[in-house]
Each structure stands twice: as C-alpha cells, then as structure tokens.
C-alpha cells in the first residue's frame, strides 16, 4: 500500500510540476539568469529529497529540461509548415554547392543585441550551427 502512495506522489509531481516547467520552458528559459537556474535546480533537488521526484539519477536537471523542451518545440515548428511560429523562420535560399548539412533548412537570422540570445527561435536556429 505504501509503495502505491509513493508511486502516486511521483506521478502527481511529474504530471503537475515537471510538465508545467517543460511546457513553459521555451517561452522563458532564455530569460533565466544563472541564479534562477541554480534556484530551480535546488527546488528539483529538494523535491527529490522530500520524495516527490525519483532519486534514480536519471531525473533531468533544469538545463536538460530546458534543452529537451526547446528541441521538441523547434522540431514541431520545423516539421509543420502550418505552425504559427513558422512565419518567423525564413527559409534558406537554395545553394548550388555542397556544404555541411545543418539540422534545419532555415536561414540564420542576424543577431544584433544580447536580447537575441534570449529569443527562442534565434537560440534554436543557431543551436548546433557551429
């Protein structure tokens, strides 16, 4: 019986807290300061200590949750030509020469300010662009 209650707490925590963080992460993760990330990781560790989160070592850190959320949203935007955010990602012009493959077929948007690093679309387009 006790094991079922613990399993229920873990499921409830994952269904509420972790998924809400994951859902909202692309919108505000770029605006998080290093201090915010430290506090969010401390919150997740505290939840693990209290038994609301699994302690198996496979539990992702806040940085991993942010990266996973960004990647999922970017792949959804990139694969769906009717996605509402598709208009903010200009297509790359066709080139007649062979270059290294990119994980997407979008043009790189010029970075003009530090605020651009906090923008989800610009962050995602430049990710793994080397």
Give the model confidence (pLDDT) of 50-79 as tens digits: 888 877 777 888 999 999 998 898 888 888
Asked if 60 and 13 sit in the same domain, the reply is yes
One domain for residues 81 and 92: yes
Q: What is the 8-class DSSP label of residue 51?
A: T
Instruction: Say if residue 16 is in the same domain as residue 31.
Output: yes
Helix pair 19-28, 62-79: axis angle to 10 deg = 70
The answer on 87 and 34 residing in a single domain is no
- Tell me: do 77 and 52 sit in the same domain: no
Q: Is 75 found in the same domain as 59?
A: no
Phi, psi at residue 106, to the nearest 5°? Answer: -105, 155
Residues 7 and 61 in one domain: yes
Given 20, 51, 67, the domain boundary residue is 67
Residues 9 and 57 in one domain: yes
Cα separation, 26 vs 105, whole angstroms: 20
Find the domain containing 28 and state its range.
2-67
The count of domains in the chain is: 2
3-state secondary structure of 104: coil
Distance (Å, rounded) from C-alpha 70 to C-alpha 54? 23
Q: Which two tokens stand for residue 37?
A: 């990330």
* pTM of the predicted protein model: 0.69
Q: Are residues 96 and 55 in the same domain?
A: no
User: What would the pLDDT profile of 11-32 be if each residue is shown by its tens digit?
Assistant: 788 788 888 998 889 888 888 8
Share of the chain above pLDDT 90, in %: 13
pLDDT at 8 over 90: no
Q: Based on the domain organization, do 28 and 42 belong to the same domain?
A: yes
Percentage of the chain lying above the pLDDT 70 cut: 71
Rounded distance between C-alpha atoms, residue 79 and residue 49, angstroms: 39
**Domain-terminating residue out of 67, 82, 97:** 67
Average pLDDT of the segment spanning 108-125: 70
User: pLDDT at residue 1 above 50?
Assistant: no
Angstrom CA distances, 25 to 18, 21, 95, 104, stand at 10, 6, 34, 21
């Amino acid at each position: 019986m006790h094991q079922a209650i613990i399993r229920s707490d873990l499921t409830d925590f994952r269904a509420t807290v972790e998924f809400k963080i994951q859902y909202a992460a692309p919108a505000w993760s770029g605006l998080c300061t290093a201090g915010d990330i430290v506090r969010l990781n401390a919150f997740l560790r505290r939840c693990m200590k209290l038994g609301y989160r699994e302690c198996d070592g496979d539990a992702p850190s806040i940085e991993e949750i942010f990266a996973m959320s960004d990647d999922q949203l970017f792949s959804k935007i990139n694969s769906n030509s009717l996605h509402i955010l598709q208009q903010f990602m200009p297509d790359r012009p066709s080139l007649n020469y062979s270059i290294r493959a990119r994980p997407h077929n979008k043009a790189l948007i010029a970075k003009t300010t530090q605020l651009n690093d906090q923008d989800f679309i610009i962050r995602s387009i430049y990710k793994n662009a080397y």
